[in-house]
Structure 1
Amino acid sequence: MLVSTREIEVRYAETDQMGVVYHANYLVWMELGRTQILKDLGFNYAEMEKDGVISPVLDVQVSYKKPLLYGQKAIVKTWIDEYDGLRVKYGYEIFNEEEELAVTGMTKHVCVKKDTFRPISVRKKFPDWHEAYEKAKRQTADV
């Protein structure tokens, strides 16, 4: 299974009054994870946007297990959990530098035309991207 890894140093501005990472910042880190997996697959989200296609979030799920603190490192692991040619579901695990699980999560996305928000088929519009996702999905199924 292709699992992309992105390391993030927890900045002071990302913490709340209790000194732990503010819960919404994990969503930003998940975005960094998605960007990393696309890069690892050889693609660039900004290029897709230039073609008039965006990928809004349909659903988010986050479970908080252990707080991360200022000065620690967060390790974001991201993979393609499901893909059907139209929608994609990414899975996430975020660890501290001691490899303790801090957060699990998932996001679901669909590709749409930027000007109309009508869904598009990744299979037709971006066949190389589709092929890479199918391959990653098969790798996931083999695990």
Structure 2
Amino acid sequence: MKTACTNIQVRYAETDQMGVVHHSQYLIWCEIGRTALINDLGFSYAKLEEDGVLAPVTDANLSYKRAVRYGETVRVETWIEAYDGIRAVYGYAIYNEEDQLCVSGTTTHVIVDRERFRPRSMRKHLPEWHDVYEREKKQKEESE
């Protein structure tokens, strides 16, 4: 199972008055990690959009375990948590410099046609993506 690892230097603008990362920033970091994973799998989200396909978030679930502060560097790990041919669930773990888990969670996505915003089957409309996601799903199941 492929896991993308992305390091992010915490910027002052991402923190609140106490110097702690604001909860909204973690979703942006998840997006950065998800884009890295998609690239590592050999695809491009930008190319997907050029082709008229979007992948909106239909669900987001984050669990905050430890504060991250200004000046720290975090590591965002991203993988495919689940996939059923229509929905892709990405998993995330965000660690601080001491390798302590700070945030964990998932986001769920479907692909839609840009013009009508109607869900599409990845299996049917993106067969190359489907094959890779199926392989990743199988590898995750075998590792559990």
TM-score category, normalised to shorter length:
over 0.9
Aligned to 2:9: 9
Partner AA of 1:29 in structure 2 = W
State how far apart, in whole Å, the 2-side matches of 1:67 and 1:118 are: 38
Q: Does residue 30 of the first structure (1) align with residue 30 of the second (2)?
A: yes
Q: Which ranges of structure 1 fall in alignment gaps of 5 or more residues?
A: none
Instruction: Report Cα offsets for 1:27-54 as digits up to 9, x if no partner.
Output: 0000001101101100000101111110
Report the alpha carbon displacement of residue 87 of structure 1 after superposing the two structures with TM: 0.6
Output the CA distance in 2 between the equivalents of 1:132 and 1:29: 23
Deviation string 1:101-143 (CA, Å, 9 cap, x unpaired) is 0001100000000111111111121111111111111110011
TM-score by length of 2: 0.97
Paired-residue identity, %: 52
Report the equivalent of 1:50.
50
The residue identity in structure 2 corresponding to 1:59 is D
Matched position secondary structure for 2:78: strand
Aligned to 1:96: 96
Q: Which amino acid aligns with 2:7?
A: E
Q: TM-score, normalised by structure 1?
A: 0.98
Deviations 1:49-73 (A, max 9, x none): 1111101100010110011111100
Give me the whole-angstrom Cα distance separating, in 2, the residues matched to 1:90 and 1:32.
12
1:57-136 aligned at under 5 Å gives the runs 57-136=57-136
Tell me which amino acid in the other structure corresponds to 1:38: I
Counterpart of 1:21 in structure 2 is 21
Structure 1 residue 80, shift from structure 2 partner: 0.4
| C-alpha distance in structure 2 between counterparts of 1:91 and 1:112, whole Å | 21
Q: Aligned to 2:137, what secondary structure does the other structure show? A: helix
SS in 2 for 1:111: strand
Aligned residue for 2:119, secondary structure, equals coil
The code of the aligned residue for 1:121 comes to S
Aligned length: 143
What CA distance in whole angstroms lies between the structure 1 residues aligned with 2:2 and 2:45?
A: 18
Task: Please give the secondary structure, in 2, of the residue aligned with 1:22.
Answer: coil
